[in-house]
Chains A and B, each alone.
Chain A
Amino acid sequence: MAYGPKIIDHYENPRNVGKFGTTAELKDRKDVGVGLVGAPECGDVLQLQIKVNPDTGIIEDAKFKTFGCGSAIASSSVATEWLKGRTVDQAEEIKNTQIVEELSLPPVKIHCSVLAEDAIRAALKDYREKNGIATEADKEEHAH
């Protein structure tokens, strides 16, 4: 696979590898949102965790663990970098196309960026559900 220097860099020096606790511990942690997407049979599983400051709504830390190819690892690594410092609402703005651009992902690897976006959404959703926060989309739905 022809990989650009940014993928190689994120693969070899992945940012923010880790987690904020075991699966059991995190179930009750209201300040942590967990996103787990992909499937082992498909060859990639991304686990993304965000730690949110409950007062400011700002993502103070983000961590990932990924089972997958170099692009899946690099996409996860970039996602954690971009999540830190954003509010939960701002985090929704991260799009897979931006990850494709940042890493110059080859066409066959675009699904890795899609998976990273899915993992972000899943982590944000988990955080919101734990804290009973409705998204903009939910609010609109209720208004109709």
Chain B
Amino acid sequence: MSTKQAAHYPKPIYMDHAATTPCDPRVVEAMLPYFTEHFGNPGSRNHKMGWDAEAGVDLAREQVAKLIGADEKEVIFTSGATEGNNLAIKGAAYLYEKAPAGSGQPRGHIITGTIEHKAVLDPCKRLQKEGFDVSFLQAPPDGVYTAAMVLAAIRPDTILVSIMWANNEIGTINEIREIGKVCKERGIIFHVDGTQWVGKMPTDVNKDNIDLLTFSGHKMYGPKGVGAMYVRRRGPRVRLQALQDGGGQERGFRSGTLNVTGIVGLGKACEIAMQEMEHDAMRLAKLRKKLEDGLTSRLDSSAVNGHKDKRLPHIANISFGFVEGEGLMMAIKEIACSSGSACTSASLEPSYVLKGLGVGDELAHSSLRLSLGRWTTEAEVDFAIEKIVQGVSKLREMSPLYDMYKEGIDISKIEWAHH
């Protein structure tokens, strides 16, 4: 979409908070002085500008640590969860490898899931090419990974387990604390991609048995381009091989001048989350339920994807049979959301997450993800229900598949010409 075209569109209501959130105005306010007044480099140890910037970073580190129940020395600032996941997974694999590269010996075993974010899957695939053995655990139909599933995949040479806290497409919550316990008992490093969870739901890295936790600012009403990573220092002390060489900032884990404004914003976002997440979660869970129930009760052949209860309060993922997702999004352009349809993805493949649950490609093409946020109102939810019901109904009038369904023809029995 060019900016010229975008200008002609009225502003839709925003139901894509799992993609990104708006910055909380309180976050922006906290950041502003660090662009102009406290512009110093926190690495400058000999003047006030440097000290002021460092004070801002120190406060943010405390705010982040407090939100996740960590010590501030265990918080590393990154550019976001993609960098964090790369550093956690590759950094741990290279450091805890059983044999060095080129030795011809197996380098170690890593466990992850098939419906993880690409920022976890792709580092794991790279490690696989480099001689590590990776098990990509098949997702169950409800999308929830359990400790038993991970336990069954653990081998004597397993060095790392990486499982996301909550899925970004379907919002399902994995058994993190239990998986962590299984790993802890066996001395296996446990990494959690907490991008969709942290700042939305209560987090305690000690009780939750996590060694490495990664997340982004822009999913919790903070700025884009900044994130944080928790690296356990006690019981056990987790070490990582840095991926980026340079000035040795962030205890050597992550060289590069700190993004002070972003870090200050992330810290403020964590502080606000700490105060408001309980209220937000309760409110959004009710709204999400209303949205899901409103749509599935009024539209036949529609269903919520993923576990019905073990899910984040704010993410709804619903398939509307016989209707294609991109076509549907055009019919509801008053609502900004996303779809698992191939036509909405850069790869032109339907959602691998929904395919991973075994819902079938057809229902993956027919899915919408609606993710609510801090400023979503009940009126917006009511509006969305009306619009989506209208859109789905309009497209079903146009859908040959819906006709066949109503005529009692089994669509799966037709010999489709694949192209």
Contacts and interface: CB of A to CB of B under 8 A. Distances in A.
Nearest to B396: A67
Contact of A41 (B1, B325, B418): B418
A17 B360 CA distance: 27
Given A2-B2, A14-B398, A67-B401, A39 B416 contact: yes
B400 interface: yes
Interface stretch (B55-63, B73-81, B143-151, B404-412): B404-412
A1 B327 CA distance: 11
Interface string A23-48: 11000000000001111111111110
Contacts of A14: 398
A1 B403 CA distance: 28
B400 A42 contact: no
Contacts, number: 101
Nearest to A68: B324
Nearest to A19: B403
Interface residues of B, number: 35
B157 interface: no
B362 interface: yes
Interface stretch (A69-77, A82-90, A94-102): A69-77
Given A22-B407, A43-B342, A108-B348, A37 B417 contact: yes
Interface residues of A, number: 36
B152 interface: no
Nearest to A65: B400
A43 B324 contact: yes
A65 to B, nearest CB: 4
Contacts of A36: 400
B2 to A, nearest CB: 6
A6 to B, nearest CB: 14
B350 A43 contact: yes
B419 A66 contact: no
B361 interface: yes
B5 interface: yes
Given A67-B322, A111-B419, 13 more contacts: A11-B327, A11-B330, A14-B398, A23-B409, A39-B419, A40-B411, A41-B360, A41-B416, A46-B400, A65-B403, A67-B398, A68-B327, A73-B327
7 contacts: A8-B330, A23-B403, A23-B404, A23-B409, A39-B418, A42-B418, A69-B343
Return the 4 tightest CB-CB contacts between A and B, nearest first.
A39-B416, A47-B400, A41-B361, A69-B326
Interface of A: 1-3, 8, 11, 14, 17, 19, 22-24, 36-47, 65-70, 72-73, 108, 111, 114-115, 118
